[in-house]
Structure 1
Amino acid sequence: MVFESRKKGILLVIIGSMLWGISGTAAQYLFQQKGFSQEWLVETRLLVSGIVLLLYVLLKEKQDIWKVWKDKQSLLNLLLFGIVGMIGVQYTYFAAVLHGNAATATILQYLSPVIVTCYFVIRTKKIPNVREISAILLALFGTFFIITGGNLHSLSISKLALFWGISSAFAAAFYTLQPRALLAKWSSTLLVGWGMTIGGIVFAFVHPPWVFTGQWSVNSMFAVVIVVLFGTIIAFYCYLESLKYIQPTEASILSSVEPLSAAALSVLCLHVPLGVSQWLGTACIICTVVILSYTKKNERVSSSQPVISSGEIQ
């Protein structure tokens, strides 16, 4: 029975992670082949997904979705999470996809655990342990291979793709660290629901959802559904549901399926050229996530483990 439950948990986290990866590829298709604007997709995804998640908390989990607003200590952090964290991580990720591709955008965003680790190393003023040093070196090697293709004299991705990809990793690190106090009081579903809704409402003043550019077709409508429904709401639900059956560390490691699925789909469906160096870089960064996830509880980096998974960012 326990074995069956573990299999269910593993399957759920793999499905959720694959859906996150698929959504990045769908976004690339919308940007580069259908002319959709990054701003419209960010706004639509935040607002629709946020409202649906809040309805899920209200109707399925039977929670009072307004109670977080009655806690004055949580209010400022919640607004910061929605406006800076949620908008920041979504906008930078989609910008990296727009100027590059879903594969490199997702892989570069997976540098965020290394940034979080470096933050704790600096904050605690302690010498990094062997695991941390190994993870940082692997991340640096992986990034080098991805952005140069192994050639020191050229970039294999555009400067804008590199800028937004690295920015996405820093935004993801902020998104991971900032809501720690909130998650001590409230469920991640409630916080992500409100974070997306707040982000969507605020971003509507920057880019109203009715301002649209792009080409509608059956394929583009399907891609939007993948990004908003399957790649956000269903993926998020699968990940959270998996935590009932497996440990968060296992879920974090298995969520590395996300960059692999994004890379594979980019190659197969959108014909993005990824050479041996890019695949080697991908492997290095995935190994980084695995190393940090397996860090023992009594090691400092355990305090830096994401309280919201990298996948939940997408």
Structure 2
Amino acid sequence: MSKAIQKQNKSNVFYGYLMVIAAFFWSGAFIAGKFSVQEFPVFSLTFYRFLFASMIIFLILIKTEQNWKIGREDLKTFLILAIIGMIGYHIFFFLALKYTSPVNASLIGAINPIITTILSFIFLKEVIKIKNVVAIVLSFSGVALIITNGKWQVLKSLSFNIGDLLMIIGVICWASYAILSKKALIKYSPLKVTSYAFLFCAILLIPMVILEKPWVYIPDTSLNGWLSIFYMSFFASVIGYLIHQIAIKNIGPSRSSLYINLVPLFSMILAYFFLHESISIIKLIASLLIIIGVLINIGVFFPDNKE
């Protein structure tokens, strides 16, 4: 194995570990969301999350990059990123949960790596290796086990409704965001791409927030509600999305997307500690499948050894 290949394998592992951190922070957003979704309307919840995230990440951007502005010719690019990746995914996800079951939504969400891989192959001409396919299958199987708790007859009762279709659109939005980000990252740093996507998201949501009458619900909003939004803004958005952009730039959208399958695993662990939910043997086996799939994907198992 050449030094170049060894260096690339180490790089893949490093960015893979970063994506594990991102997945952990994203999973925490589900716990935080249990508090905030009860106190904020859908558009307002998304708005406050990315408003605070924009304020934080722009401070980082201005302090770390001398040229922190973007050209007018790229306004359309960031507008599309905000609409598809920030507003699109989050709004469709929250709306989907109003019409479909968590089982349906979770299973549909778990196909994100598959959709991203297909889109990467079509639009970015990324090479799909056998080990990547194996990794996707293993991780998806683990997610399905966690969701069904090993009772595969649950899958027979699945029926598509408007919520399922909304969730599919949400997943496509997220996968498309990853693909479009790859092209934006050719010109801009991950920090700048993330910062302006957040900012455009917050600005575009202002009219919808006004329609939701914030002066009515804000006086009754609890401290836990605001703390939940802060968690989602800083940890799940600023850190999580920034890591995601860095990973997309270095290891590609399809490989980065597989780590989304770690979110149900971490959510299960956090739910055990914070919500006192039990962890079964089936879920432990499922967790092992997900972890093996991720390790194969980042090159810990079966590293690339050809020029």
The TM-score normalised by the length of structure 1 is 0.68
Q: CA deviation at 1:201?
A: 0.9
Which of 49, 61, 68 is the aligned partner of 1:65? 68
Amino acid at match of 1:64: N
Shift of 1:110: 5.0
Corresponding residue for residue 271 of structure 2: 266
SS in 1 for 2:67: coil
Q: Mark the CA change 1:227 to 1:158 in structure 2 (over 3 Å): closer, same or farther.
A: farther
State the partner residue of 2:176: 174
2:156 partner amino acid: H
Partner of 1:205: 207
Q: 2:58 aligns with which of 25, 42, 54?
A: 54
When structure 1 is superposed on structure 2, of 181-190 and 74-83 the one drifting more is 74-83
In structure 2, give the amino acid aligned to 1:192.
T
Residues of 1 paired with 2:223 and 2:71: CA distance?
A: 40
Listed one character per residue, the Cα deviations across residues 57-95 of structure 1 (whole Å, up to 9, x for unaligned) are 11x2133332x224x2x3322221122222112323444
1:217 has 2:217 as partner: no
Q: Tell whether the 8 Å contact from 1:132 to 1:292 is kept in structure 2 after alignment.
A: yes
What code does the residue aligned with 2:26 have?
A: W
Q: CA RMSD in A?
A: 4.5
Q: Secondary structure at the match of 1:63?
A: coil
C-alpha separation in 1, matches of 2:66 and 2:287: 40
Cα gap change, 1:15 to 1:288, in 2 (>3 Å):
closer
Task: Give the whole-Å Cα distance in 1 for the aligned partners of 2:303 and 2:16.
Answer: 21
Matched, 1:44 2:48: yes
Separation in structure 2 between the aligned mates of residue 126 and residue 52 of structure 1, nearest angstrom: 33
User: Secondary structure at the residue paired with 1:263?
Assistant: helix
Deviation for aligned residue 1:177: 0.3
Separation in structure 1 between the aligned mates of residue 139 and residue 223 of structure 2, nearest angstrom: 39
1:118 maps onto 2:118 in alignment: yes
Residues 159/172 of structure 1: CA separation in 2 closer, same or farther (3 Å cut): same
> What CA distance in whole angstroms lies between the structure 2 residues aligned with 1:127 and 1:61?
34
Out of 27, 30, 54, the residue aligned to residue 33 of structure 2 is 27
Instruction: Provide closer, same or farther for how the CA distance between residues 137 and 106 of structure 1 changes in structure 2, counting only shifts above 3 A.
Output: closer
Unaligned regions of 5+ residues in structure 1, if any?
1-7, 300-314
1:1-314 pair list within 5 angstroms: 16-31=22-37, 34-58=38-62, 60-66=63-69, 68-70=70-72, 72=73, 74-95=74-95, 109=109, 111-121=111-121, 129-138=129-138, 141-142=141-142, 144-145=144-145, 148=148, 149-151=151-153, 152-155=155-158, 162-208=164-210, 211=214, 213=217, 215-235=220-240, 239=243, 258-270=263-275, 284-285=289-290, 287-294=292-299
Q: Assess, with a 3 A threshold, how the Cα gap between structure 1 residues 159 and 17 changes in structure 2: closer, same or farther.
A: same
In 2, distance between residues paired with 1:191 and 1:177? 13
Q: Cα offset for 1:191?
A: 1.0
Q: Deviations over 1:118-145 (max 9, x none)?
A: 2344569999642244245435545654
Give the TM-score taking structure 2 as reference length: 0.69
User: How far apart, in 1, do the equivalents of 2:194 and 2:113 lie?
Assistant: 19
What is the distance in 2 between the residues matched to 1:61 and 1:10? 24
Cα 1:102–1:197, aligned 2, differ >3 Å: closer, same or farther?
farther
Distance (Å, rounded) in 1 between the aligned partners of 2:22 and 2:161: 31
Q: Per the alignment, in what secondary structure is the counterpart of residue 207 of structure 1?
A: helix
The answer (yes or no) to whether the contact 1:13–1:251 under 8 Å persists in 2 is: yes
Distance 1:82 1:297 in 2: 35
- Contact kept, 8 Å, 1:253 with 1:290, in 2: the verdict is no
Shift of residue 235, structure 1, vs aligned partner:
4.5
Task: Work out the percentage of aligned pairs sharing the same amino acid.
Answer: 21
Q: Letter of the aligned partner of 2:87 in structure 1?
A: I
Matches of 2:109 and 2:128 in 1, distance apart? 22
* Structure with a larger share of its residues in helix: 2
Task: Give secondary structure in 1 for the equivalent of 2:209.
Answer: coil
Q: How many pairs are equivalent?
A: 281
Q: Report how far residue 162 of structure 1 moved.
A: 4.7
**Partners of 1:146 and 1:203 in 2: how far apart?**
34
Deviation digits for residues 4-23 of structure 1 (CA, Å, limit 9, x no counterpart): xxxx9999766554332212
Contact 1:107 1:259 in 2 (8 A): no
Question: Is the CA contact (8 Å cut-off) linking 1:112 and 1:170 kept in structure 2?
Answer: yes
* CA shift in 2, pair 1:108/1:297, >3 Å: farther
User: What amino acid maps onto 2:178 in structure 1?
Assistant: T
The structural deviation recorded for 1:44 is 0.9
What is the alpha-carbon distance in structure 1 between the residues aligned to residue 271 and residue 282 of structure 2? 16
